């Protein structure tokens, strides 16, 4: 069994095609290949979505919480793939999404994803996003590995 490992922003950029303003992962704290991953998203007031959601009381949109979970999950899947420069992980479905507390500027999201089912090009994961130990969002989501 391999030890959990980490990824900094340079390694994340090497593995994901997302870029500003749509990259929603800042650091990976733990990866257990094929099993689970823990990532961080630092939520700042400078995020482009806060200009319109909502200027009076900024709240991170729920759909972006789900996207952040999907990006962390994609890092788990793409990490062990050979020739990953020619592959993409597509988000293909979501079940049971629930939003438990608002995420505001200054919050740090801790995103944990675990594999529920993994087949050759298909994966189902459970994701949880927490702020200060409080659950902010959770969902099960599916993704598929595709050729570029």
- What is the per-residue pLDDT for 85? 83
Average pLDDT over residues 18-38: 96
**Catalytic-role residue among 18, 27, 36, 53:** 53
Burial group, residue 109, by CB count within 10 angstroms (0-12, 13-18, 19+): buried
Asked if pLDDT for residue 8 goes beyond 70, the answer is yes
- What is the per-residue pLDDT for 82? 79
CATH topology of domain 5-147: Thiol Ester Dehydrase; Chain A (3.10.129)
- What is the per-residue pLDDT for 79? 81
On whether the CB atoms of residues 89 and 97 are closer than 8 A, the answer is no
Asked if pLDDT for residue 22 goes beyond 60, the answer is yes
- What is the per-residue pLDDT for 80? 74
Quote the CA–CA distance of 71 and 74 in Å, as a whole number.
5
Write down the pTM of the prediction. 0.95
With tokens 């995020």, the residue in question is 47
Q: Active site includes 53?
A: yes
> Regarding beta strands 134-147 and 108-118, do their DSSP bridges make them parallel or antiparallel, or are they unpaired?
unpaired
Asked if pLDDT for residue 1 goes beyond 50, the answer is no
- What is the per-residue pLDDT for 2? 56
pLDDT digits (tens, 9 = 90+) for 55-92: 999 999 999 999 999 999 999 999 878 788 889 999 99
**Closest Cα partner for 24 from 85, 107, 102, 81?**
107
């Amino acid at each position: 069994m391999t030890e959990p490992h980490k990824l900094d922003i340079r390694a994340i950029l090497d593995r994901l095609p997302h870029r500003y303003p749509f990259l929603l992962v800042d650091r990976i704290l733990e990866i257990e290949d094929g099993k689970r991953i823990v990532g961080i998203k630092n939520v700042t007031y400078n995020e482009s979505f806060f200009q319109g959601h909502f200027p009076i009381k900024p709240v991170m949109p729920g759909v972006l919480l789900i996207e952040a979970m999907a990006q962390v999950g994609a890092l788990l899947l793409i990490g062990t793939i050979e020739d990953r420069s020619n592959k993409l992980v597509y988000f293909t479905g979501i079940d049971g999404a629930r939003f438990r507390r608002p995420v505001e500027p200054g919050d740090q999201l801790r995103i944990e994803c675990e594999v529920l089912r993994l087949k050759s090009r298909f994966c189902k994961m459970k994701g949880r996003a927490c702020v200060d130990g409080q659950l902010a969002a959770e969902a099960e989501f599916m993704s598929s590995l595709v050729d570029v």
